[in-house]
Amino acid sequence: MKIAVGTLNNGKIQSVKNGLSRYEDYLSAEIIGVKVDSGVSNQPIGLEETIVGAQNRARLAFDSVGAEFGFGLESGIFLVPQTKSDYMDTTACAIYDGKEFHLGLSSCFEYPREMIKKVLVEGKDIGEVALEMGFSDNKNFAEKEGMIGILTKGVIDRANYSEQAVHMAMIHLLNKKHY
């Protein structure tokens, strides 16, 4: 079975590999990353844009290599009342089987207020802002620990965080008669 992940980001590819390694039917799957365009902004704002980005990645990955499944992962921020910055981050996973999408979301977390302000006012993405504000000096941190790793002091890294979305989307494939 071939599974295409719509990205070359190693953290996102690893999250799919880690997630699928927990399901017997997917242990022998060949999982490859494919460079695709999400079709959304570098920093998606709103659940709709985040989900559309994941769906675009999944469909384009599926179409590009004739995979059995295309996976798309997209992180974005969305409005959440009563938070300190007004926004939280989530990762959307879309699995495309050639006919329909199966969606899942990760848990959510909040970035520092100043980061969100720079994203909204200056139009920068979280990675740029994190480097600018000194959260990391590693330009590839987003593929490794990501901001979630920095903010949790290494308890959860980018791959763990995104893996949650993979499991939530897999619910549809594991329970087909209900979906």
Neighbours of 26 (CB within 10 A): 18
What's domain 2-109+157-178's architecture? Answer: Alpha-Beta Complex (3.90)
Say how far apart CA 83 and CA 100 lie, in whole Å: 34
Query: Is the pLDDT confidence value at 143 over 90?
Result: no
Mean pLDDT, the chain, rounded, equals 96
For 166, list phi and psi in degrees, rounded to 5. -60, -50
Domain ranges (residues) in the chain: 2-109+157-178
More confident residue, 91 or 140: 91
Say how far apart CA 177 and CA 173 lie, in whole Å: 9
Pair type for strands 2-5 and 69-79 = parallel
pLDDT tens-digit map of 57-72: 999 999 999 999 999 9
Cα angle, residue 55 at apex, residues 80 and 49 outer, rounded to 5° = 35
**pTM of the model as a whole:** 0.94
Give the CA distances from residue 49 to residues 1, 77, 96, 150, 161, in Å, rounded to whole numbers and listed in that order.
30, 9, 17, 25, 19
- Which pLDDT does position 93 carry in this prediction? 98
- Which pLDDT does position 144 carry in this prediction? 83
